[in-house]
Amino acid sequence: MGIFVSTYAYTIGLGKLSGPGPGFMPFWIGIIFVGLGIYKISTQIREIRVNSASAGKNVTVRASGIGKIILVTAILFAYALLLEYLGYILATFIAMVLLLRFAGYTRWVPVIVYAILIAGLSYFLFHYLGVLFPVGVFNNFGLV
Q: What is the DSSP string of 4-64?
A: HHHHHHHHH--B-SSSB-TTHHHHHHHHHHHHHHHHHHHHHHHHHHHHHHHHTS------T
Q: Is the CB of residue 100 less than 8 Å from the CB of residue 114?
A: yes
Domain residue ranges in the chain? 1-61, 65-144
pLDDT at 111: 92
Residues 6+ apart with CB under 8 A from 121: none
Cβ partners under 8 Å of residue 24, min gap 6: 9, 14, 15
Query: Averaged in consecutive runs of 10 residues, what is the pLDDT profile of the chain (144 residues)?
Result: 83 80 84 88 79 59 66 88 88 93 86 93 87 75 57
Spacing of C-alpha 66 from chain mean position = 17
Contact of 3 with 30, CB cutoff 8 Å: yes
